[in-house]
Amino acid sequence: MILQALNKPEATTQALSILRKGDNFNFYVIFMLVVVIFIYNSEIQKKNYKGIAAGMMLYMIHWFVEIINALIQKFSGHALWTVPTGTAFLILVGVGIELSLMFSIAGLAASKLLPDDPNEKLFGINVRWAFGIGFAALASIIEIFLVMTPTFVWVYWWWNSLTVFMFVYIPFFVGANYAYYWEPRKQKLVIGTLALINAGLLLIFAVILPLATGEIWI
């Protein structure tokens, strides 16, 4: 009965079989990494620290939800979303290196549309929410295409474009948009705190517990 409520549960085993293994590595990953470094270096030269904050905010939220997704896999047997194939390097059960590099610049890219005035409205909605919801909807539509391929799987029947829109992409883009307008001190505090939380979770569940128990946790 439980298995009938799952979509392609075998994708979990497939993902775990390639988790953090170099068998599928491709050199295009190096090119993508250099592009990301170039983009951020260019923004630093332009002193676009607001855009950089937006980019880092989204990226930190991205890592947090990916860690939670991996923990769900550990404790329930299946993650909400899984990447069973198609990546050169699977970092966690639901994210390959290509997706992670894309998310590292998504908030920065989205911030290019934000006006100087944080109180400006679009269609009667504050721009932080208007653009955030718009980009979240676009990302959810793209994910619908991804799940039609072998490379991305929504495992649980109740996890779909609406839930990913509400619980993943709205926090991604709205959070990035708010960070764009924060004072530098608040940007450093919030983004730095998220970075420390993510680093702590990775240290515990990806390093310490696997070494202590001899099994993969995330």
Task: Kindly give the confidence (pLDDT) of every residue in the chain, 218 residues in length, as a single tens digit, with 9 standing for 90 and above.
Answer: 444 589 999 999 999 999 999 999 999 999 999 999 999 999 999 999 999 999 999 999 999 999 999 999 999 999 999 999 999 999 999 999 999 999 999 999 999 999 999 999 999 999 999 999 999 999 999 999 999 999 999 999 999 999 999 999 999 999 999 999 999 999 999 999 999 999 999 999 999 999 999 999 99
Q: Domain containing 172: what range? A: 3-213
In a domain, 8, yes or no: yes
Report the pLDDT value the prediction gives residue 4, as an integer from 0 to 100: 56
Count: domains in the chain:
1
Give the model's pLDDT for residue 5. Answer: 81
In a domain, 120, yes or no: yes
The number of CA neighbours under 13 Å toward the Cβ of 21 is: 12
Q: Is residue 218 part of a domain?
A: no
Q: Would 179 be classed as within a structural domain?
A: yes
Q: Is residue 47 part of a domain?
A: yes
